């Protein structure tokens, strides 16, 4: 059996706030099991909890509840020092931006994780140069991050993430700030690491190319995995080839386009239940007039115009369906 490199169960996270709008439940019972050598993409609208999930999985933020096992060790139970040690030798992060220490040049930024592991400065710098070269950015080795373009900074950040030979890379929109050509090069490198070296990946992405590199994709909505997609997911049309997820509490969240197709919210009779089969038969209730996606976000009043987005681009709320007045 292939071992898990990272396994999380019943992960919840609440951002507490004393402000009027109150607490935000960003994760609601996440389960994930990343096997050694597996590449998984996390797709989902803005505000669905992707970054929160990455931070909790990588031990950068303590989830409100739930457990995270990294390489077989329960991260939530480790002391600060043990956690740092485990992270250093197992996992690397790549964020969309802001990965680099501003006062160090590119080379020192890349060498730093090795120095932390006790590698001699000379050796660390030599390896840093090799890695910068691999990412085509060696000529900028002595530049401070602020003197580098967004794409260059990101390549340095990726070099820094790869220098420790991590078994798992957690990346939050790693190519979001890159031009298409650099983006493709970075992706080719990820592919090589995945296929040749068996490195595992969990990548948050909005990009078709990035998602297509993954073995499977998980669709996150409102802090829950609602569906899984196989190889070759089309991030622009998640309605195709989707497997809905029913969690341990029996909860299934229908993505809005599925809800639209079955006729909208209302009462459903479970007419046929069998092993692996559940048929829902909609009852004709008064609320089920003609429905369409709401033209305006009920939370922040964003006007959707002609778009068929299912999540508010300005506040991240799910777009509800409303009855069309006849």
Ligand X SMILES: Nc1ncnc2c1ncn2[C@@H]1O[C@H](COP(=O)(O)OP(=O)(O)OP(=O)(O)O)[C@@H](O)[C@H]1O
Residues that bind ligand X (CB under 6 A): 15, 17, 24, 26, 46-52, 316
Closest to ligand X by CB, 56 vs 162, is 56
- Shortest Cβ 96–ligand X spacing (Å): 8
Closest to ligand X by CB, 108 vs 311, is 311
d(C-alpha 142, C-alpha 109), whole Å: 10
Closest to Mg ion by CB, 51 vs 205, is 51
d(C-alpha 196, C-alpha 148), whole Å: 30
Closest to ligand X by CB, 24 vs 245, is 24
Residue 23, binding choice from ligand X, Mg ion, none, Cβ under 5 to 8 Å by partner class: none
Picking from 225, 215, 214, the residue whose alpha carbon sits closest to that of residue 174 is 214
- Shortest Cβ 176–ligand X spacing (Å): 9
Are the C-beta atoms of 52 and 13 separated by less than 8 Å? yes
Residue 281, binding choice from ligand X, Mg ion, none, Cβ under 5 to 8 Å by partner class: none
How many beta carbons lie within 10 A of that of residue 9, not counting itself?
14
Are the C-beta atoms of 38 and 200 separated by less than 8 Å? yes
End-to-end CA, the chain:
58
Residue 314, binding choice from ligand X, Mg ion, none, Cβ under 5 to 8 Å by partner class: none
Closest to Mg ion by CB, 50 vs 224, is 50
Number of separate helices (H) and strands (E) present in the chain: 8, 15
Closest to Mg ion by CB, 51 vs 109, is 51
Torsion on CA atoms 252, 256, 259, 263, rounded to nearest 10: 160
Binding site for Mg ion (CB under 5 A): 50-51
- Shortest Cβ 269–ligand X spacing (Å): 34
Are the C-beta atoms of 224 and 246 separated by less than 8 Å? no
- Shortest Cβ 205–ligand X spacing (Å): 10
- Shortest Cβ 183–ligand X spacing (Å): 17
What six digits make up the tokens of 111?
A: 């060498």
- Shortest Cβ 288–ligand X spacing (Å): 29
- Shortest Cβ 17–ligand X spacing (Å): 6
Closest to Mg ion by CB, 164 vs 217, is 217
Picking from 159, 80, 60, 163, the residue whose alpha carbon sits closest to that of residue 114 is 163
Burial of 190: CB neighbours in 10 Å, binned 0-12, 13-18, 19+ = buried
d(C-alpha 172, C-alpha 51), whole Å: 7
């Amino acid at each position: 059996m292939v071992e898990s490199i990272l396994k999380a169960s019943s992960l919840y996270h609440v951002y507490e706030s004393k402000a009027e709008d109150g607490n935000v439940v960003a994760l609601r019972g996440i389960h994930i099991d990343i096997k050694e050598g597996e590449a998984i993409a996390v797709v989902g609208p803005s505000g669905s909890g992707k970054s929160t999930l990455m931070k909790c999985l990588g031990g950068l933020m303590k989830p409100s509840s739930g457990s995270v096992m990294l390489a077989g060790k329960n991260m939530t139970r480790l002391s600060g020092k043990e956690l740092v040690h485990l992270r250093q030798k197992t996992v690397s992060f790549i964020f969309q931006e802001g990965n680099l220490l501003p006062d160090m040049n590119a080379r020192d930024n890349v060498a730093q994780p090795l120095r932390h592991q006790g590698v001699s400065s000379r050796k660390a710098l030599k390896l840093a140069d090799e890695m910068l070269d691999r990412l085509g950015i060696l000529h900028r080795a002595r530049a401070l991050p602020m003197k580098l373009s967004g794409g260059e900074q990101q390549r340095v950040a990726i070099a820094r993430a790869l220098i420790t030979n991590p078994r798992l890379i957690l990346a939050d929109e790693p190519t979001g700030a890159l031009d298409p050509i650099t983006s493709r090069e970075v992706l080719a490198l990820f592919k090589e690491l995945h296929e040749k070296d068996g490195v595992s990946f969990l990548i948050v992405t909005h990009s078709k190319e990035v998602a297509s590199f993954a073995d499977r994709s998980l669709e996150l909505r409102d802090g829950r995995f609602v569906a899984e997609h196989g190889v070759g997911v089309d991030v622009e049309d998640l309605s195709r080839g989707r497997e809905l997820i029913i969690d341990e509490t029996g909860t299934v969240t229908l993505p809005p386009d599925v809800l639209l197709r079955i006729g909208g919210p209302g009462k459903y009779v479970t007419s046929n239940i069998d092993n692996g089969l559940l048929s829902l038969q909609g009852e004709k209730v008064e609320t089920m007039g003609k429905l369409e996606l709401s033209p305006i976000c009920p939370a922040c009043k964003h006007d959707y115009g002609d778009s068929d987005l299912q999540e508010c681009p300005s506040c991240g709320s799910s777009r509800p369906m409303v009855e069309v007045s006849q």
